[in-house]
Amino acid sequence: MAIIEFDQSKKRDIVLIGRAAIDFNPNELNRTLDEVETFSMYLGGSPANLAVGINKLGDNVGFIGCVSDDQFGDFAINYFKKRGIDTSQMTRAKNGENLGLTFTEISSPTESRLLMYRNQAADLMITPQDVSEEYIADSKILLISGTALAASPSREACLIALRYAKKHGVKVIFDIDYREYTWKSKEDTSIYYSIVASQSDIVIGSREEFDLTENIPADSGIPDHEIAEKYIACGNKIVIIKHGKKGSIAYTADQHAYKVESYHIKLLKSFGGGDAYGSAFIHGLLSGWEVPKALQYGTAHAAMVVASHSCSNAMQTVPQIDAFMEEHKDEKVITELDWRDKL
């Protein structure tokens, strides 16, 4: 039996709530932004990237969000529509708010930085009134992006979506997705992250993000497994704690722990892998796979996307991921650990 099961009577596989934005990725690589002359435009924003990735793998995806009432907003909605992602729950900003813009700097394959413009961000204008109880009730999964909790009214929209999900037996995935520039204080961050994390079924984040959620210092010395135990005791079935280049550990409610490492590939950039990983991992869970198989699939997808110029446009199909995994079948990226082991 899989560690987490979904109500197959529900129409939609997953609905995501959070930001859709635009990425401008440089066409001139291995240089700083001040030396870049041209950019390519892609759909961006972590939950939007996840939506595209899950959809590309064949699952039924809906999106709850707010975009700007201009050509950039048109771009985001049309991008989803062309790919069959349901946009019926997306709204337009009413007071001139802007779609977030991200300019990426790829100074080397392993060194990237993001320059973001998010003043009066349209995605934070989604309201509780924009969230349909019926729509969420007919979905197997609700994914909440942590950045959407940073300000009102988006914060309240996420919390009402969470309430509807719990009421109707919809599984909740919390992607912590911390962006410091959107929050007023770490105390605010901890309050709202901990509310959602304690009511989720799956929590995914870096160790730094879990420290923020717990409001503990980075040098606390608290081991990963103790943090995982807390959220599993709250009802979570899977807790994934990432450690950057060191890999990550996935803890499951049946007391298993899996170390996740990366495939050996030639990097083009150092961002986008997390969204690719998440989308393929979620696809695996929806397919009824055991956790190690879903983790390996996510890891393969991440490797393919960090070797590509874009994030959203680089999301892969099932045959493409299968072919990559066959090509790299001799690499071991998933190892079962003792519960208390460290990376």
* Integer Cα distance of 302 and 311 in angstroms: 10
Q: Does some domain include residue 319?
A: no
DSSP assignment of 129-171:
GG--HHHHHTEEEEEEEGGGGSSTTHHHHHHHHHHHHHHTT-E
Cα of first residue to Cα of last residue in the chain, in angstroms, is 28
One-letter amino acid at 35 equals: E
The encoded tokens of residue 106 equal: 């790829």
The encoded tokens of residue 198 equal: 């304690």
Q: Does some domain include residue 72?
A: yes
- Beta strands 139-145 and 248-252 are unpaired
> So what's the pLDDT on residue 273?
87
Q: Does some domain include residue 303?
A: no
Give me the residue label for tokens 């390519």.
40
Neighbours of 120 (CB within 10 A): 14
* Integer Cα distance of 221 and 205 in angstroms: 18
> So what's the pLDDT on residue 193?
98
Q: Does some domain include residue 182?
A: yes
- Domain holding 96, by residue range, is 12-255
Q: Does the CA dihedral 268-270-276-277 come out positive or negative?
A: positive
The encoded tokens of residue 298 equal: 């996510």
> So what's the pLDDT on residue 111?
82
Q: Does some domain include residue 34?
A: yes
Alpha-carbon separation of residue 284 from 13, 190, 281 (angstroms): 12, 30, 5
Q: How many domains does the chain have?
A: 1
Q: Does some domain include residue 226?
A: yes
Alpha-carbon separation of residue 122 from 60, 98, 324 (angstroms): 25, 5, 37
62 phi and psi, to 5 degrees? -125, 160
User: Residue 74's domain is classified under what CATH number?
Assistant: 3.40.1190.20
Q: Does some domain include residue 197?
A: yes
49 phi and psi, to 5 degrees? -60, -45
What's 268's DSSP letter?
Answer: S
| Full pLDDT tens readout for the chain, 343 residues | 689 999 999 999 999 999 999 999 999 988 999 999 999 999 999 999 999 999 999 999 999 999 999 999 999 999 999 999 999 999 999 999 999 999 998 888 778 888 999 999 999 999 999 999 999 999 999 999 999 999 999 999 999 999 999 999 999 999 999 988 889 999 999 999 999 999 999 999 999 999 999 999 888 889 999 999 999 999 999 999 998 878 899 999 999 999 999 898 887 777 888 999 999 999 999 999 999 999 999 999 999 998 888 889 999 999 999 999 999 999 999 999 998 888 7
The model carries a pTM of: 0.96
Cβ neighbors of 74 (< 8 A, separation 6 or more) are none
> So what's the pLDDT on residue 182?
86
Q: Does some domain include residue 285?
A: no
